[in-house]
Amino acid sequence: MKIQFKNVDKSFEVKNSHDTVWVLDDVSFEVKTSEIFCIVGPSGCGKSTIINLIAGFVFPNKGEVLMDGKLIHGPNPKRTVVFQEHAIFPWKTVRENIEFGLKCKNLDKNKIDEDVDYLLKKVKLESFANRYPDELSGGMKQRVAIARAFAIKPDVILMDEPFASLDQQNRDILQEELLNIQAELKQTIIFITHNIDEAIFLGDRIAILGQRPAKIKDVIKVIYERPRSPEIRNREKFLKLKNKIWCLLRQEIS
């Protein structure tokens, strides 16, 4: 297994008070190598906390978070994060943003150019390579963030609602582009989303979280093989699975 959560509890101290907020309660799950593992749940239930635990930004009160069987002790370039806000460098061009991590690894310039050209083509930004972020749309900026994450070839990419701020058209296109890149590069992806359609379209499996302090209510295998086409969203099995997940979430929300 690539990532393992073993009986994880997590709480946070509330600033300027003596209160404690419990976020995760005895959470256990496993993520396979090269899998796209989606997590859905009510707002504020702890989805982002799971991402931060895997990234090594925070640590559990109890239990273990492991990668390749070893405890995660902090951030590591083998695990990279794509946030809801694109977080790209405004003073760097599209090309410079994507190549940033590669330059930090002191790779050969020709190899860097080759990798960046490949990713520019994959995210359809070849003609914008020398533009700056303030010249790009929101969807383009998120494409840059995704390309930069894949560029350094991490083992695991953690995606915290990366398409949430985009319109539906851009969201659908980026979902397809993400699947195409992952199919070639084979990274393990853990993807947080509120959007059930998105989770089904992208995921190999979907974990449903309950209200805070969150437990895993269910982990559902997605029935569709890859590659996937947008047409599956209209199929009966897709709609039945969507309804099943919504019923589980509705129990928590209500």
Cα–Cα dist 129/252, whole Å? 45
Distance (Å) of CA 33 to CA 96, 182, 192 = 30, 12, 17
State whether residue 73 is helix, strand or coil: coil
In one-letter notation, the amino acid at residue 226 is R
**Phi and psi for 13 in degrees, rounded to 5?**
-80, 135
Name the β-bridge partners of 11.
22
| CB-based burial label for 70 (10 Å; 0-12, 13-18, 19+) | exposed
How high is the pLDDT of residue 254?
66
Parallel, antiparallel or unpaired: strands 205-209 and 36-40:
parallel
How high is the pLDDT of residue 15?
79
Fold topology of 1-78+161-254: Rossmann fold (3.40.50)
Q: Per-residue confidence of the chain (254 residues) as pLDDT tens digits?
A: 999 999 999 999 887 777 888 999 999 999 999 999 999 998 888 999 999 999 999 999 999 999 999 999 999 989 999 987 767 889 999 999 999 888 777 777 888 889 999 999 888 899 999 999 999 988 888 889 889 999 889 999 999 998 887 888 888 888 998 999 899 889 999 999 999 999 999 999 999 999 989 999 999 999 888 888 888 999 999 999 999 999 998 887 76
**Domain ranges across the chain:** 1-78+161-254, 87-153
pTM of the model: 0.92
**Segments of 51-127 assigned E as strands:** 62-67, 70-71, 79-82
Element (H, E) at 134: none
